[in-house]
Amino acid sequence: MEPDPRPSLAVWKFASCDGCQLTLLDCEDELLPLTDRVRITHFLEMSSAEDSREPATLAGTGPYDLSLVDGSITTAEDVRRVHHIRRISRRLVTIGACATAGGIQALRNFADVEEFRAAVYADPEYIATLDTSTPISAHVPVDFELRGCPIDRGQLLEVITAFLAGRKPNISSHSVCFQCKRRGTTCITVAQGIPCLGPVTHAGCGALCPAYGRGCYGCFGPMAQPNLEAMVRELRHDGMTERDIVRVFRTFNAASPEYGPVPELATQQAPEPPAEEEPR
């Protein structure tokens, strides 16, 4: 029998909502054509084929040409599993905020996990979970990180086709503001004084929220080199309190190291004078 010439693709899941791997199934127009070009060898949500079921703890059917990893690391077993997946993957790409930044479950990183356990669990002593939720890159080398909570379907297809072609994905790391301008959306902060994280947030969603009359809430995480000092000052100016500012950064990419200075910045900066006295 001729060997299958198609490169193999594996999809793995750790702690997550499944939304980023679901994005692949949401490629309704592209899903079947894609399977002409890649062999989807391991994707539990999609296939019950034996290959798909091969437990990652065994040296199974790898190597995989491209592994997509959804979800963050929150258990000791998952630490072992991600190392194994790295060993059997030629290229490893993280998809989404959980795999790339620890996800919303990384809010535990700022809290006393014992209190979290006690708040949620009747018998907290039985919970097998780590005190932290960490991105995949904290454990193994990663070839590319695709941002977003959830990822963008178009960007996912770009990443897959780029890796299949052996080139770098064409994914910009500029801010949401660029996409707003490109979309022709009037700046909602300038025009309406609505607080918006667009200036410091990684592009990729297509600048959705401002187009719907809502400030960006940062679900794609930080852009490259965000100017947080200026951002926090602007959020203050637009009426956000210290608590609001800390909360808005502590969501789906809460553990991104770029956001580290936010609480201190929010505390340090005195509220701006009222808007009408501030020339814009």
Partner 1 sequence: MSHRGSRVLRLDALARVEGEAALHLAVRDGTVTEAQLRIYEPPRFFEAFLVGRGHGEPPDITSRICGICPVAYQTTACQAIERACGVTVDVPLTELRRLLYYGEWIESQSLHIHLLHAPDFLGHPSAVELAREHPAAVERGLRIKQAGNTIMEQLGGRAIHPINVRVGGFYHVPTPAELVPLAERLRRAHDDALETVRWVAGFDFPDVAYDGPLLAMRDPGRYAIDSGTPAVMAAVAGSDGATPVRTLPVEEFERHVVEHQVPHSTALVSQLDGDHYLTGCLARYAISGRWLHPSALDAARAAGLGDPATGAVCRNPFRSIIVRAVEVAHAVAEALRIIDAYEPPSRSYVAVPPRPATGCAATEAPRGLLYHRYAMDADGTLTLARIVPPTAQNQAAIEDDLRRQVQSRLDGPGEPPGDEELTALCERAVRNHDPCISCSAHFLDLTVEHG
Chain residues that interact with partner 1, rule: CB under 8 A: 13-20, 22-23, 25-26, 28-29, 31-32, 35, 40, 43-50, 52-53, 55, 74-75, 78, 103-105, 107-108, 111, 115-117, 119-123, 126-129, 149-150, 205, 208-209, 211-214, 217, 219, 244, 247, 251-252
Between 2 and 29, CB nearer to partner 1: 29
Between 149 and 160, CB nearer to partner 1: 149
Separation between Cα atoms, residue 43 and residue 21, nearest integer Å:
9
Between 119 and 270, CB nearer to partner 1: 119
Separation between Cα atoms, residue 207 and residue 193, nearest integer Å:
17
Write down the least CB distance from residue 137 to partner 1, Å. Answer: 19
> Which is nearest to 150 in space by CA: 37, 6, 17, 12?
17
Separation between Cα atoms, residue 198 and residue 190, nearest integer Å:
12
Task: Answer whether 196's CB lies under 8 Å from 188's CB.
Answer: yes
Pairing relationship of beta strands 39-43 and 8-13 according to DSSP bridges: parallel
Write down the least CB distance from residue 279 to partner 1, Å. Answer: 29
What is the DSSP code (8-state) at residue 124? G
Between 143 and 193, CB nearer to partner 1: 193
Cβ-count burial 160-169 (b if 16+ within 10 Å, e if not): bbbbbeeeeb
Between 93 and 254, CB nearer to partner 1: 254
Write down the least CB distance from residue 126 to partner 1, Å. Answer: 4
Write down the least CB distance from residue 43 to partner 1, Å. Answer: 8
Separation between Cα atoms, residue 36 and residue 59, nearest integer Å:
26
Write down the least CB distance from residue 77 to partner 1, Å. Answer: 9
